Structure 1
Amino acid sequence: MAHTGVVFPEVDGKRSTSALGRAVVADALREVDPVGAHAAERETNWRQGYLVHFRRMVEAGLLRDGEAAVDVARSGLASLHSRMRCATARGEVPLGEAFSAATGSGVPLETATVRGSGERATSLTLPMHGERLAGDGLRRQLDRWVAAGSLEPSAADKVREVLEHPEWLDLSGRKVVVLGAGAEMGPLRALLSWGAEVVGVDLPRPDIWKRVVDVAAGSAGTLHLPVAGGSSPGVAPETADLASGAGADLVHGLPAVADWLTALEGPLVLGNYVYADGATNVRVSSAVDALSVELLRRRSDVALAFLATPTDVFAVPRDAVEFSTRAYRSPSAVTRVLRPALRTVSGGRLLQRNYAPGSDPGLNDSLVAQQGPNYALAKRLQRWRATVAARDGVTVSLNVAPPTRTRSVVKNRALASAYAGAHRFGIEVFEPATSNTLMAALLVHDLQTADTADGPDTRAPWLAEADGAVHGGLWRTAYDPRSALGLAVVLGLGSARG
């Protein structure tokens, strides 16, 4: 079977995802941590051993008051772009050359538009447990989340600002491109309810587009979507079956998507909400990153938006460390009795402290081994792009999203069980509707306050990532998340089956 589109490089006759991941991580570390780079290159069991190397990249990034993170990000992205390939009409080329190669990228894309007939929401409300929280009710919920350690206080402050400025929900004058229009964590539904102009991109699958078009038609917003040339562009959903002809494949039709987005009137916010299983996640994330670079090259009016996964490694503020330390020192009565025994029988592996007391910053390692190195790389390269773009003066919205019961999570039995038992350790797992609306509000805040920024974001990248994080408690729980994961799985087995 021929390999097409964005593909892994062929090494010794094989396209190894482990070889690619090992090489990119080593290259990312090489300048700031040569010893760490050498260790990554020599890792013989990448699928199980990747955790320590992804942690090391964050540790190395804290050097030089956090400035080393910029070097790690630039080196990692350069390595990925030079190593990943794009199969074109004239053979395979490096990812960065996908747009300049004579690709013969197929039928060009045209635009269909769905204009909703619903009433625009003029204030922020948050769906939660079958209700919609608004005004003081939402403010009280933000206070509860802060008190429980489910999010950083800065995240609550940002949402409160959106509450105080309902006019911010009107994003007139810009188009928000939602790559992964059908994603559960994406902002498409919330943005359309606020009357935004959204550009949706997702795979050409009628089941996805039937759902997305129905949402748009009932909303107060406008949805632009790609259709293959000759598929009646510009018509409304009631006069053509848009779902059967809509969509674009980022992995296999990258140049066509770039040309289509380039031709749209701007300004554009390019939002990355794509996800795929396994190795395909790296392929599509690489394609999106190449698309981001190309659009930034072609246009001067592009902002970038991302959601960072909470199951990664982050440097966290001293305040989060102190919250966690207090929680460790004041366990529940049951935990106070059981913790010594559990630590003894596990050889100290269970219920380890989340941080050494007084750490500033602390290092939160919430990587989940079961998610695998491809997921970790796909999500890390988004953080790298956010870091580099912000330093280069691009408007960037990157916010850490909470653990959420999405379909991709609950279909993994171990993760579903861990999520069901997580509340025993101070971790709150959010429902998709709550998460995606909350993160859409943070996106609105970032976009509406970007004009007040004085030049490029020169904060240490770890500080920028921590600002506004909604981590569900992973940063503030008493215990190192992986040291509690096994217990959470056991405690959640019954609930997950239910």
Structure 2
Amino acid sequence: MTDAPGLQWPLDAKGKRATGAPGQRIIAAALRGLDATAADAVAAEHDWRHAYPAHWCALVQAQAARPVGVVASARAGLAAAWRELPFMRAGQAHALADAMNTPQRRLQTLQLRGSGDAAPARWTVPHQGRELHGDALARQIDRWEKGGICEAAHAGALRDCLAHPEWFDLSDQHLVLLGAGSEAGPLAWLAKWRANLVGIDLARAATWKRIAAIVAAGNATLIAPVAPDQPLDVAHAGADLLADTPEIAAWLASRQQPLSIANLAYLDGERHVRVSLAMDAISATLCAADARTQLAYMATPTDVFAVPEQLARDVMRRYAERGLVKKLGQFGARLGSGGRGFAPHIEGLIDAGDFGRDSGTWGLVDALVVEQGPNYALAKRLQQWRALVARADGHRVAFNVAPSTTTASVVSNPLLAAGFRGAKAFGVEVFAPATTNALMAAMWVHQLRTEARDFAHPLKLLVHTANHGGLWRLPYRPRSVLPMAALLGFVKRR
């Protein structure tokens, strides 16, 4: 890694920027107040790259069992991340909090206006070669819900959107897209719904040419930052979330408007943690500056989540009710894989009833894909933590688990790409980017237009409206059948 300006990993004892030990310290900090023994186990782990799923499960299990400690755990994890990763300026390391308080330059503002049809476009969902709307879309939503592809609240929200087309006139909303050009992001839809958009993405001419074309074809307005020493045009638009973090936050705060901020940016490998922390710093700064600030997240289903008892019992029932032929075949596969294949997904329930009002009983879905690595999991965990903290601090949070999607970044991994192709054999639906975009854009609109829900257990926020593509209702731990799904996927490609 180079010492480029902006957020970096800390130096280790050998003077190198490594990710393992800092990541362990961050997770241990989140665990410390819930389960000191589990936190010590994280700190002592010698094979973090491969063993991290067990520690993720320990964290979520402790949070599920102690709802009163969830927000404090999230605060501790975020505080550790802010301490661990320095912000580099001119070769000097600064604490992230200090850097956020001292922006070094003032960004310019470029405005783009759409020239398309002035009326908000009708919300439709492209799915398997068809453009679904009206009754056809309603029937598909029913199929997704009945098939266990999404949870009831997700389906209910989509039906609400069908019933309220007036919601999609977003001329009263100011929406910030951190990672405006994201492949799975909602820009293409928001640009057709008269929204007041703020786009943040790297200063790459090709990226901004594409963004400008999307805006021009619609009816929205979009403003973008431009460096102070650059011409005020599309070719020079953009700012670096990693290097210009304080400047972006100050520029957004200068809007002096209630903003809804979507954290969308993705980068490969260890950079995903850094860009997630950069978005977190911007989001936290704007929340502190304006109590009206709202946050939005698109989460991955390939993570560890605490899920309500009804979902957990359904998963356990599915495993128990496998036919005799399946049981015998899978028993042999488990023996041959050393117990790793066809492992039961949920083996017990977690009682949180003693720790808060009607906190209920929970199960643990573990859909982590080891090949994605601990940095990917940590980047997504930072987003969960900020969502929990911001909501506890009185901010509206739209947190939506999006289904596994065939984005370029995902299918670039041959094993994941093959696993996605074979997933249908296990009842899992993998979505095309255009379908995910349409669904997640509508879910954000729903949460902008409806009252916030009150949850007895804080973790319910993270799963209530999930569309996991059926992954969470698999009777088997997903990664225990990924090799079989990948094998099927390789055969299917041929």
Is the pair's TM-score, using the shorter chain for normalization, greater than 0.5? yes
What TM-score results when the alignment is normalised by the length of structure 1?
0.92
CA distance in 1, matches of 2:481, 2:403: 18
Three-state SS of the structure 1 residue aligned to 2:473 is coil
Q: 1:58·1:313 contact (CA, 8 Å) conserved in 2?
A: yes
Q: Give the counterpart of 1:256 among 247, 253, 277.
A: 247
**1:236 aligned residue:** none
Conservation of the 8 A alpha-carbon contact between 1:122 and 1:167: no
Please give the alpha-carbon distance, in whole angstroms, between the structure 1 residues aligned to 2:212 and 2:310.
44
Greater CA drift, 182-191 or 363-372: 182-191
Is the 1:89–1:104 Cα contact (8 Å) retained in structure 2?
A: no
Q: Bigger CA drift: 350-359 or 191-200?
A: 350-359
Q: Could you list the per-position Cα deviations for residues 447-481 of structure 1 after superposition, in whole angstroms to 9, with x for gaps in the alignment?
A: 1113x66xxx5531221112110001111112111
Cα deviation digits, residues 145-192 of structure 1 (max 9, x gap): 111111101100011111111111122222110111111111111111
1:491 maps to which residue? 488
Cα distance in structure 1, aligned partners of 2:421 and 2:254? 46
| C-alpha distance in 1 between matches for 2:257 and 2:323 | 54
Residues 405-438 of structure 1 show CA distances to partners (whole Å, capped at 9, x for unaligned) of 0000111101101111111111110000101110
What secondary structure does 1:47 align onto?
Answer: helix
Q: Is the 8 A contact 1:112 1:226 kept in 2?
A: no
Is 1:139 aligned to 2:141, yes or no? no
Give, as a single letter, the amino acid of the residue that structure 2 aligns with 1:179.
Answer: L
Q: What 5-or-longer segments of structure 1 have no aligned partner?
A: 234-239
Contact 1:391–1:458 under 8 Å retained in 2 = no
Aligned to 1:444: 445
- Contact 1:321–1:358 (8 Å) recurs in 2: yes
Q: Distance in 1 between matches of 2:210 and 2:432?
A: 19
Q: Does 1:195 align with 2:204?
A: no
2:37 counterpart residue number: 35
Cα contact 1:313–1:367 (8 A) shared by 2: yes
> Which range is displaced more, 350-359 or 74-83?
350-359
1:112 is the counterpart of 2:111: yes
Cα distance in 1 for partners of 2:251, 2:456 equals 34
Give the match for residue 80 of structure 1: 81
* Separation in structure 2 between the aligned mates of residue 90 and residue 337 of structure 1, nearest angstrom: 61
Q: Deviations over 1:286-324 (max 9, x none)?
A: 111111111112223311001111110001122222332
Q: 1:38 to 1:325 in 2, by over 3 A?
A: closer
Moved segments of 4+, more than 6 Å:
none
Partner secondary structure for residue 461 of structure 1: coil
Q: 1:116 touches 1:222 (CA, 8 Å); kept in 2?
A: no
1:338-370 Cα distance to aligned partner (Å, 9 max, x none):
323323322432112221266741100001100
Distance in 2 of aligned mates of 1:196 and 1:438? 17
Q: Is the 8 A contact 2:263 2:297 kept in 1?
A: yes
Rounded Cα–Cα distance in structure 2 between residues aligned with 1:33 and 1:285 = 26
Three-state SS of the structure 2 residue aligned to 1:110 is strand
Question: d(CA) in 1 for partners of 2:145 and 2:60?
Answer: 25
TM-fit CA distance, 1:232: 5.3
TM-aligned CA deviation for residue 89 of structure 1: 5.0
Select between 20-29 and 67-76 the one with higher mean Cα deviation. 67-76
| 1:370-449 equivalences in 2 (<5 Å) | 370-449=371-450
The match for 2:356 is none
Shift of 1:249: 0.2
1:261-276 equivalences in 2 (<5 Å): 261-276=252-267
**Distance between the aligned counterparts of 1:276 and 1:73, measured in 2?**
23
Please tell me whether the aligned partners of residues 149 and 477 of structure 1 are also in contact (alpha carbons under 8 angstroms). no
* Contact residue 400 and residue 470 of structure 1 kept, 8 A: yes
In the TM superposition, residue 230 of structure 1 has moved relative to its aligned partner by: 5.9
Structure 1 counterpart of 2:282: 291
The aligned residue for residue 355 of structure 2 is none
- Quote the sequence identity (%): 41
Q: Which moved more, 1:259-268 or 1:84-93?
A: 84-93
SS of match in other structure, 1:361: strand
Q: Distance in 1 between matches of 2:465 and 2:431?
A: 16
Counterpart position of 1:185: 184
> Can you give the 5+ residue segments of structure 2 that lack an aligned partner in the other structure?
351-360
Cα distance between partner residues in 2 of 1:438 and 1:334: 38
Q: Is the 8 A contact 2:307 2:364 kept in 1?
A: yes
User: In 2 relative to 1, CA 333–436 (structure 1 residues): closer, same or farther, beyond 3 Å?
Assistant: farther
- Distance in 2 separating the partners of 1:9 and 1:58: 26
For residues 81-480 of structure 1, the aligned pairs below 5 Å read: 81-89=82-90, 91-101=92-102, 104-105=104-105, 108-229=107-228, 231=230, 233=232, 242=234, 244-331=235-322, 335=326, 338-356=329-347, 360-450=361-451, 457=454, 459-480=456-477
The CA distance in 2 between the partners of 1:161 and 1:219, in whole Å, is 24
Q: In the TM superposition, what whole-angstrom CA distance separates every residue of 1:125-148 from its partner, at most 9, and x where no partner exists?
A: 111122211111111101111111
The match for 1:44 among 12, 23, 46 is 46
Work out which of the residue numbers 482, 486, 490 in structure 1 matches 2:479: 482
1:20-48 superposed Cα distances (whole Å, 9 cap, x missing partner): 10110111111111001100111112111
Q: Amino acid of the residue matched to residue 56 of structure 2?
A: F
**Is the 2:291–2:395 contact (alpha carbons within 8 Å) kept by the matching residues of 1?**
no
8 Å CA contact 1:108, 1:256 repeated in 2: yes
* 8 A contact 2:104–2:247 mirrored in 1: no
Give the root-mean-square deviation of aligned CA atoms.
2.0
Q: Deviations over 1:220-242 (max 9, x none)?
A: 22222222236554xxxxxx5x1
- In the comparison of the two structures, how many residue pairs are matched? 482
Residue of structure 2 in register with 1:237 after alignment: none
Letter in 2 for 1:280: R
- Which shows bigger deviation, 187-196 or 325-334? 325-334
Contact 1:421 1:489 in 2 (8 A): yes
